Structure 1
Amino acid sequence: MNMPSDQMELSEDAIRKHYDAASAMLTGFDHTPRIAKARDTEVKEKSAGLGTRRRFRSTTPGLVTRSTARPEGVQLLARIEAADDCDVIISPVQANVMSGLRRALAIALAVGEGFAEVTGLVALKKDNLQGSLAAGKKNEFAELLAAEAMAVLYTFANATSFLLAPHASEVSVEIGEVDEVLTDNALLALHGALWELDQDLATFADEEPKLIATVLAFAEQVMEKVALRAQNAPRLGAFTGASYKVEADDLTIAGFTPARAVKGSTLTMTFKKPNEVVGNHIAK
């Protein structure tokens, strides 16, 4: 496989190793909103006998500031399933959204892992976990955590937009600005974004045709907001100066530059009268 000299391959193994973590986030976690205000977004159950999905909590020590706001349970898979009025069978559209989000999360986590290795953030995280982070390194640590968060969050939104664009229809949704954009660390950034996506799906995706449109609108808003915030942020050179190729998806990740895919369109069928069909001598 030939690639430009400044482009690195993001291998399938590097991506798929994060599938379990991505699936866990989509299945469920608790998030306390810091900036945005929660709406009434109770998830409908598929049926009375299916029960509630498990929730996964962040266990990263010392990185998340406590808040007095009430934690909100985020169950994106259940939310997506409810977009077709709780039909017990998952539709192709729902399956595309679920798999696209999981893939995008895994790609983003792989990019974050590479960023942490190149910048020395891995070692700083280890020192912080052991309580041995030098006082002189604390500012660098905080800046690198924020840079990683922005790289991961932008990549997630970018990959989501790229992977789902071919499945888009002519339906569009205006969701307004995203508010819960957090950059303390990568995991919190993803949790905040997924919490906001859950809110948007509950508000705007009241029927299946609006499902992908809502996710795409969300992804565009996240990319715009993160790219704007990153303009004056330090320690992002390892992300903005790199170019990753995801061969299986034909996706190129080049810093805060959106990757564009060909959008799908609604199939329009025109039925002709028998005498209008060329070569139909029987009708003629």
Structure 2
Amino acid sequence: MTQPQQAMQLKEEDIRGHYEAAFHTLSALSHRPQFASADDEPQTSRGGFSRRRFRNTIPGMSPVTQSAASSQAGLANTIASVTPDDPLPTEVQSHIIRVLRRGLAVANTLIDTFGDQTPLNSLKRENTQGHLGDLQRKEFGELLNASGLVGLFTFASYLQYVLSDYLTEADNLSITLPDPEEIVLDNPIDALNGALWELDRFIDDHADSDEALVKVVRDYATRLIDALHIRRHGMPGLEPFLSATYRVEADTFTVDGFEVSQRGRATQLVMSFKKPEEVIGNHIAKYQALKLAKMLMAYDFTQKKNPFVDLGGFIFTFMGDGKPGTGKTTLIQMLAGLLNDYCEVAGYTFRYENLSTDNVDSFQGKSGQNAKQFIRNVTDPNIIGFGTIDDIDQVAGKRGDRQSSAGQQEITAVLMESFAGASTVVRGNCTFGMFSNYPEQVDDALRQRAGARFLIDGPQSREDYIDILNLLLGKNHDIPLGDHELYANQAIQGAVQRSFEAHNRPTAPALADVFDRMLTGPASHVTIASLGGYLKAIQEVDERFTGRAIKNITDAVKLRAMDFELPDDWMEHPDQFLHRDYDTKLSMLSELMTPITPEMVIQEINRYADSEFRYAGASDEAEITERVRQIKWQLEAERRLRQGE
């Protein structure tokens, strides 16, 4: 896949021009901490060792430099001291030092470029001569802060990118770093020096092997990126950086605003893919999954956006719920298989990731880190991504539930922020599916962040059961089929039409009463006012039916307006659609749109509200059952107490 044409190349000679200064910074860093503790007393690490050590291990360092390093910070020496029984740096340690040197050089090159693209460099010259006015001093300070943030983010992003697939056995270590504190954004020099100073301390406190060294550096970069994502909001002067894309060709490293560049480990997706005809029943869910797969393929890698996001109705998150054995795993396998095949034809990179109970860790902060990495991997703007959280009721904790672990609560917080938080950006290159047999046990606010609902109820009709029996039996038999047209009931358009018509009237009794009271007569008499009144009446019955529910319903209606099938030729021959420019794609899709009808709106309100009432009813019933059980325990305890007396 080609990179965006407007990417600005950071020249290799400019990067190498910063090597010498970067090496001196790593060898002898002078930094006065502003936020973190400067206490240099030995600290005990997780491995039980305690040290502040600086030895003459770096060739070319003079005794004077050694003395300076010992009283300040010599990050290169600290790295070489990870294995004290060897007077020379190991291959891993040398690699880390080189990565840090190049990361500093890349960051400083981008800082220089940022200064050229903004008035910063000219303001520096004016400031040296003492010619800055009040307004210029304000702009100068803002651009210095912005360049500090830009440089620090570039440095951390480079470390994470280059080390993402290096010495992967380091991932097996359980090391939990504290959040970075020494984040100094006054200017680029202090910003980078503060990060190196803190990294030096983390390595000294937590790394007792080469694997631990890699783990610490990689995790520190990840935590620093998370912290910088928070700091960037509201900071002036960042517009030139956000509007450009920078590229380091030798490392295939890209800086595209504050998106984290992902190398992606060279692992082949291992999954038993399913064809659409192998999904029996689940008509609406299958239909929406088929549409979603083609929607994702409309993503434009140059503009970094999807025309379906602009047109409305793109499914960024969805909830798939149903009883055990109704086909959730089969649906995942179908959607992943379609995307994998489409991406192979188009020449795009496809990435599938699942967040499972294995990612819930007992170490504080680790579960949240795992969830953030999962989100980053799937949202990488240079790939087509599909992320799933299977059995989300076990992975993410329900707030206020004392049975939820701290790790589950961390994952809930990350998913809520990532799916509909202040910094959430929906580009249209990825989708997330949350699956559960017990959706009522999922936190209400997290569940409502699912923009679409896939009811996975499995085979329903007699024809469905005949089809699935025939499919699973295979061909090693001579049992006659009988009076049945095989798979005719699975014809997607007819089945979907019947499924949507089933929502002309809600099924939940409490909701049906509201419907009968608020909406009477033919759909042609329906108005925006009557629909709004219906929604308000639902909210009066269930206070959890909030504005977010209305947004999810309108998104589903807009999706219905896209009720057209992208031609298979567009997927099989990329030049017809996939490789067209963004404006052409947008125009081609706009011509296929259908108008929104009152029937669509009523059906989607009923479909969404039915699911919420179903979840709420199951949740209330579970709560009642639990309280009855507790009362029985209490009564039995009182009975035994009386007998004992």
Percent identical residues: 31
Change in CA separation of 1:213 and 1:238 when aligned onto 2, cut-off 3 Å: same
In structure 2, the residue matched to 1:13 is: 13
Does the CA contact (< 8 Å) of 1:109 and 1:152 recur in 2? yes
Alignment length, in residue pairs? 250
Q: Does residue 156 of the first structure (1) align with residue 155 of the second (2)?
A: yes
Structure 2 gap ranges (5+): 43-51, 268-645
Higher mean C-alpha deviation, range 180-189 or range 8-17 = 8-17
Does the CA contact (< 8 Å) of 1:22 and 1:106 recur in 2? yes
Give the alignment partner of residue 65 of structure 2, picking from 54, 57, 80: 54
Q: Does residue 141 of the first structure (1) align with residue 135 of the second (2)?
A: no
Residue 8 of structure 2 aligns to a residue whose secondary structure is: strand
> Amino acid of the residue matched to residue 212 of structure 1?
V
Does the CA contact (< 8 Å) of 1:32 and 1:72 recur in 2? no
Does the CA contact (< 8 Å) of 1:18 and 1:106 recur in 2? yes
Within-5 A mapping of 1:94-105: 94-105=93-104
In structure 2, the residue matched to 1:276 is: none
**Following TM superposition, by how much is the alpha carbon of 1:88 offset from its aligned partner in structure 2, in angstroms?**
1.4
In structure 2, the residue matched to 1:89 is: 88
Spell out, residue by residue over 1:235-261, the C-alpha distance to the aligned partner (whole angstroms, 9 max, x if none).
101111111111100111111111112
Question: For 2:235 and 2:185, how far apart are their aligned partners in 1?
Answer: 11
Within-5 A mapping of 1:1-284: 3-38=3-38, 39-40=40-41, 42-46=52-56, 54=65, 73-171=72-170, 172=173, 173-263=175-265
In structure 2, the residue matched to 1:64 is: none
Residue 253 of structure 1 aligns to a residue whose secondary structure is: strand
Which 4+ stretches in 1 moved above 3 angstroms? 50-53, 262-265
- Which structure has the larger Rg? 2
Does the CA contact (< 8 Å) of 1:147 and 1:235 recur in 2? yes
Query: TM-score under structure 1 normalisation?
Result: 0.82
> Amino acid of the residue matched to residue 259 of structure 2?
T
**Following TM superposition, by how much is the alpha carbon of 1:264 offset from its aligned partner in structure 2, in angstroms?**
8.5
Change in CA separation of 1:86 and 1:226 when aligned onto 2, cut-off 3 Å: farther
**Following TM superposition, by how much is the alpha carbon of 1:168 offset from its aligned partner in structure 2, in angstroms?**
3.0
Residue 219 of structure 1 aligns to a residue whose secondary structure is: helix
**Following TM superposition, by how much is the alpha carbon of 1:221 offset from its aligned partner in structure 2, in angstroms?**
1.1
> Amino acid of the residue matched to residue 26 of structure 1?
L
Spell out, residue by residue over 1:28-50, the C-alpha distance to the aligned partner (whole angstroms, 9 max, x if none).
12111110003435223257xx8
Change in CA separation of 1:5 and 1:93 when aligned onto 2, cut-off 3 Å: same
Does the CA contact (< 8 Å) of 2:169 and 2:211 recur in 1? no
Question: For 1:126 and 1:26, how far apart are their aligned partners in 2?
Answer: 28
Does the CA contact (< 8 Å) of 1:168 and 1:263 recur in 2? no
> Amino acid of the residue matched to residue 97 of structure 2?
M
Change in CA separation of 1:210 and 1:45 when aligned onto 2, cut-off 3 Å: same
Spell out, residue by residue over 1:249-277, the C-alpha distance to the aligned partner (whole angstroms, 9 max, x if none).
01111111111123589xxxxxxxxxxxx
Residue 183 of structure 1 aligns to a residue whose secondary structure is: coil
> Amino acid of the residue matched to residue 99 of structure 1?
R
Question: For 1:30 and 1:200, how far apart are their aligned partners in 2?
Answer: 17
Residue 170 of structure 1 aligns to a residue whose secondary structure is: helix
**Following TM superposition, by how much is the alpha carbon of 1:143 offset from its aligned partner in structure 2, in angstroms?**
0.4
In structure 2, the residue matched to 1:278 is: none
**Following TM superposition, by how much is the alpha carbon of 1:118 offset from its aligned partner in structure 2, in angstroms?**
0.6
**Following TM superposition, by how much is the alpha carbon of 1:151 offset from its aligned partner in structure 2, in angstroms?**
0.2
Spell out, residue by residue over 1:137-157, the C-alpha distance to the aligned partner (whole angstroms, 9 max, x if none).
111010000000000000000
Change in CA separation of 1:72 and 1:255 when aligned onto 2, cut-off 3 Å: farther
Structure 1 gap ranges (5+): 58-70, 266-284
Question: For 2:23 and 2:117, how far apart are their aligned partners in 1?
Answer: 26
Change in CA separation of 1:91 and 1:232 when aligned onto 2, cut-off 3 Å: same
In structure 2, the residue matched to 1:279 is: none
Higher mean C-alpha deviation, range 85-94 or range 2-11 = 2-11
Does the CA contact (< 8 Å) of 1:34 and 1:180 recur in 2? yes
Residue 65 of structure 2 aligns to a residue whose secondary structure is: coil
> Amino acid of the residue matched to residue 257 of structure 1?
E
**Following TM superposition, by how much is the alpha carbon of 1:72 offset from its aligned partner in structure 2, in angstroms?**
6.1
> Amino acid of the residue matched to residue 207 of structure 2?
A
> Amino acid of the residue matched to residue 122 of structure 2?
A
Does the CA contact (< 8 Å) of 1:25 and 1:56 recur in 2? no
> Amino acid of the residue matched to residue 156 of structure 1?
F
Question: For 2:119 and 2:217, how far apart are their aligned partners in 1?
Answer: 34
Spell out, residue by residue over 1:11-37, the C-alpha distance to the aligned partner (whole angstroms, 9 max, x if none).
111211111111111111211111000
**Following TM superposition, by how much is the alpha carbon of 1:169 offset from its aligned partner in structure 2, in angstroms?**
2.5
Change in CA separation of 1:51 and 1:13 when aligned onto 2, cut-off 3 Å: closer
**Following TM superposition, by how much is the alpha carbon of 1:136 offset from its aligned partner in structure 2, in angstroms?**
1.9
Does the CA contact (< 8 Å) of 1:150 and 1:230 recur in 2? yes
Does the CA contact (< 8 Å) of 2:54 and 2:74 recur in 1? no
In structure 2, the residue matched to 1:275 is: none
User: Which has the larger share of helix?
Assistant: 2
Question: For 1:44 and 1:145, how far apart are their aligned partners in 2?
Answer: 33
